[in-house]
Amino acid sequence: MALVLQVLNGLTFASFLFLLSTGLNLIFGVMRIVNFAHGSLAMLGAYVAFAAAGGVTGRFWVGTLAALAVLAALGIALERGLLRFLYAREELYQILLTYGLVLVSEDAVKLIWGRDYKSLSFPPPFAGPVQVGSALFPSYYLALMAIAAAVAVLLWVVLYRTRVGAVIRAASADREMTEALGYSVPALGAAVFAAGSALAGLAGALILPIQTVSPGFAVEVVIEAFIVVVVGGLGSIWGALVGAVFIGLLRSFGIAYFPVFELALVYLTMAVILIVRPWGLLGVPPVGRN
């Protein structure tokens, strides 16, 4: 039973990592933006959800929907107002700008909400535990897994079973050819950035009942998101899923059996993958990209 609980705990953390990193991967896959501010978007999503819920657990889902809407709008504003001016420049400019946004967002959060830690209790109807064998397990953890699975299926349907998804994949492979066919790649990029930002906001909101959030949350989670995409493959949605499950289980069993070595275990695994397969487990080698 202990093994089953460790797997469930790992999948819970993997669900959060997937929601967080899939937006990062989606943005990079279509727009080739290495967005260091993605952790800040998750942090802002958590604070927006907390504020919209008024600190009341019973309004948790209202706060989550507010985080989705606000972060989607913020994503459009960032892409149209700042990032689009850097597309023709070297990636270093994008990295410097998005890192600057991390610092600005942290100070903005301190100014608006202070330095205190924020969290919410498990929301209804997932406030109680469920019986798993002879042990109790938080039902909210199972709900988080279900939401992550639903998002994965939704993304698959949109990307591989709709015309919009076909255009997104075409823009990811060849922006110039997509524009030549009459599609507006800038508008598509803004929509994708909004979707990626909304997913970051969703991840930030959903982690509130599990983990406290503070202004340092942005840097903490963006490192975890980059580890996931490095392991799974930058630009691959399914890579984000595989990388999230791999890192989630690794951390869960690392905490249980190697508590002193747990973080080092994650970084060592990432280093080995970078050496052996630098494009990630499901990523595409650079020579294969247009």
Which tens digit of pLDDT belongs to each residue from 40-82?
Answer: 999 999 999 999 987 676 789 999 999 999 999 999 999 999 9
* Most confident listed range (119-123, 140-144, 187-191): 140-144
Give the three-state DSSP class for 36: coil
| Whether the predicted pLDDT of 257 surpasses 50 | yes
Give the three-state DSSP class for 208: coil
For residue 124, name the pLDDT band (cuts at 50, 70, 90). Answer: confident
- Find all residues with CB under 8 Å of 100, minimum gap 6, and list them: none
Which tens digit of pLDDT belongs to each residue from 189-220?
Answer: 899 999 999 999 999 999 999 999 998 899 98
Helix-strand-coil percent breakdown of the chain, rounded to 5?
75, 5, 20
| Whether the predicted pLDDT of 290 surpasses 60 | no
| % of the chain exceeding 70 in pLDDT | 97
Across 223-244, average pLDDT: 86
Q: How far apart are CA 117 and CA 25, in angstroms?
A: 28
CB distance 66 to 129 below 8 Å: no
* Residues written for the chain: 290
> What type of residue sits at position 93?
Y
Return the closest-CA partner of residue 118 out of 218, 16, 217, 212. 212
Q: Answer positive or negative: Cα dihedral of 29, 35, 39, 41.
A: negative
CB distance 129 to 137 below 8 Å: yes
pTM, entire model: 0.91
pLDDT for residue 287: 58
